[in-house]
Structure 1
Amino acid sequence: MLETVLFSDKYRSLIPLVRRTGLIFRLVYITTVHPDINVARVRRRVLAGGHDVPEDKIHERWTRSMDNLAGFAERADRLIVVDNSGQEPVMLALRHLEGALEIHDVDHPASDRLRSLRNTVRLP
């Protein structure tokens, strides 16, 4: 398991290695509809004693992560993309093992970036 904010595509080269060892590349991508939501959450975390992240970094990471999403999603054997902006999570995209990518028609930046991949099978 690897946790990342997908700020860069440096982990993309690991995908073929994962497959050569017989493993499945699963991507669980959890996002928000806007980076200001993340800024507010970090502020609450800091008030509770947690670590801070500069606001400009939060915005930059959110945007770069969104920009990298499609490149990883098209290679994922299994994929779940979830928006956790509100009280309840909202499913944005799903791919079952060896299935087509299903994009749920939700007005969301992640959905917008994935629409070109709708009903495609994964890349090697």
Structure 2
Amino acid sequence: MAQLWIVAGPNGAGKSTLVERYNPAEPQSLPVVNPDNIHKFYPERGRVYAGREAILQQEHHLSSGNSFIIETTLSGQRERQLVKAARSKGYGINFVYVGLPDPSLSIARIAQRVAAGGHHVPSEDVKRRYPRSLARLAEFIGVADRVYIFDNSRERSRLLLCRVKGRTRKVASQLPSWLKTAIPRAFQKIDRGMSM
């Protein structure tokens, strides 16, 4: 079965780093659709072009039945349409969320990335997208076959929650407040009857 992997989280949370860490090297790697990567190769064409090209790549993978990964802040509507289209084609839906406690940490990380030659995201965009991303977290937990939520506020990311086929299998002993407020309490408890 083809798989759609949605790697989501605020700007600067470490989505690309996580994808690089867990997506194996060629030739086994899954294609990654990320407008930031497209923009890096075609900067003269602008961000609008990169966004449109990302949609075309997603549609190509869906029509070809290829497994693939997308990176997103989850602050728009496109992901909802993509999940619906993928589900209608029999795809498994996998959702990975990389979270941070507040937009100020996102802004600080983006500044570090820019200093190292990476791309900039305006602070006002980060502040606008951060609450939207968290607000949509529960929706995507509810539609995905597999869910992995990480806290990336420290040097090493920490797995906070894992759900498989609608059942919570792992919950960290202490959930950060950003996650507790973003998801229903029912998702925060291990479903008994499912072994690890």
TM-score (normalised: structure 2):
0.55
Residue 76 of structure 2 corresponds to residue 8 of structure 1: yes
Number of aligned residue pairs: give it: 120
2:177 to 92, 108, 120: 108
1:43 to 107, 111, 123: 111
Shift of 1:13: 2.4
Shift of 1:99: 4.2
Take 2:162 and 2:78, find their aligned partners in 1: how far apart are those partners? 23
Secondary structure at 1:80 match in 2: strand
Take 1:74 and 1:99, find their aligned partners in 2: how far apart are those partners? 7
Counterparts in 2 of 1:1-124, with a 5 A limit?
1-96=69-164, 98-102=165-169, 103-104=171-172, 105-118=174-187
Contact 1:8 1:68 (C-alpha < 8 Å) held by counterparts: no
Secondary structure at 2:148 match in 1: strand
Q: Which whole-Å deviations, capped at 9, do the CAs of 1:26-74 have from their partners, x for residues lacking one?
A: 0011111111111111111122222221111111111110011111111
Q: Which whole-Å deviations, capped at 9, do the CAs of 1:89-117 have from their partners, x for residues lacking one?
A: 12222112x24135544123123211344
Which residue identity is paired with 2:81? S
Shift of 1:120: 9.8
Contact 1:25 1:77 (C-alpha < 8 Å) held by counterparts: yes
Give the structure with the larger helix fraction.
Answer: 2
Alpha-carbon spacing, 1:9–1:117, altered in 2? closer, same or farther (3 Å): farther
Alpha-carbon spacing, 1:3–1:48, altered in 2? closer, same or farther (3 Å): same
What's the RMSD between the two structures over aligned residues? 2.2
TM-score (normalised: structure 1):
0.83
Specify every segment of 5 or more residues in structure 2 that has no aligned partner in the other structure, as ranges: 1-68, 192-196
